[in-house]
Amino acid sequence: MIIDQLVPSASTYAADIDWIWELIFVLVGFWFVLSEGVFFWLLWKFRKKDGQKAQYITGELESEKKWITYPHLLVLVCDIFIVYGAVKVWYEVKQKLPEAQSMVRVVGQQWAWTFVHAGPDGALDTADDITTVNELRLAKDTLYHYKLESKDVLHNFSVPAFRLKQDSIPGREITGWFEPTLVGDFSVQCAEICGIGHGLMGARVIIETPEAHAAWMAANSTDGLAEATPAEIPSTEVAANALAISEE
């Protein structure tokens, strides 16, 4: 409600993340405004007055302590709602791994993102994979698994429009998922300080209709190139080719 006014929500779980964010915002916001309001009202009400000596209160009497105890209990009740909502959303987004329709490998390095698209066969590490730099191409309404890696230091694959933020860790392959729901061009960022070029480590995610995406795959997959040159293409040449494609 509040967030998608500012950042478009372009994945199936964006609304779940927004919901828990807004629940926390409303509950914490209510107590913040109330407590700050009472605080400044008390400062004003009991301000220094001529001829009136300040009282020393230890706060040990029941009649004084209740001003802390009762609000504290009410805040704890709010915590139950937040914990319940957080576990529910975490389970839906991070614990569940719905079946993939396609795959993409995401590799962070100082300071760029490399995306290996599965290509027409939907599987990684096959001849028809398409490699691009700083440009992730996806089809709308397709469930992707991503395999997130890092070549050097900690990075963080952040796609605000998906409400996705995941650390990439050298030596590990982290699997997650997303399903784009909106055709468009959205930003990808690195959300983990990773060196002097961290701020330049931006990329784009381009979500197309399944038809347009299939046409892009057909035009760029090495299968198409293999048809033109039946000899096996060395992998370095494939990557160089993909780079040229991404720069077009």
Instruction: Give contact residues for Cu ion (rule: CB under 5 A).
Output: 155, 190, 194, 201
Q: Minimum distance between the CB of residue 194 and Cu ion, rounded to whole angstroms?
A: 3
Nearer to Cu ion, 96 or 151 (CB): 151
Residue 98 is classified by DSSP as: P
Q: Minimum distance between the CB of residue 201 and Cu ion, rounded to whole angstroms?
A: 4
Going by C-alpha positions, the residue among 114, 123, 101, 89 that lies closest to residue 20 is: 89
Question: Sign of dihedral through CA atoms 234, 237, 176, 210?
Answer: negative
Nearer to Cu ion, 108 or 119 (CB): 108
CA distance 195 to 172: 20
Q: Minimum distance between the CB of residue 61 and Cu ion, rounded to whole angstroms?
A: 55
Q: Minimum distance between the CB of residue 146 and Cu ion, rounded to whole angstroms?
A: 16
Residue type for position 241 = N
Q: Minimum distance between the CB of residue 199 and Cu ion, rounded to whole angstroms?
A: 9
Residue 170, φ and ψ in degrees, nearest 5: -55, 135
Polymer length of the chain: 248
Buried b (16+ CB within 10 A) or exposed e, 11-37: bbbbebbbbbeebeeebeeeeeeeeee
Nearer to Cu ion, 6 or 196 (CB): 196
Nearer to Cu ion, 66 or 151 (CB): 151
Nearer to Cu ion, 85 or 160 (CB): 160
* H runs (alpha helix) in 46-195: 62-90
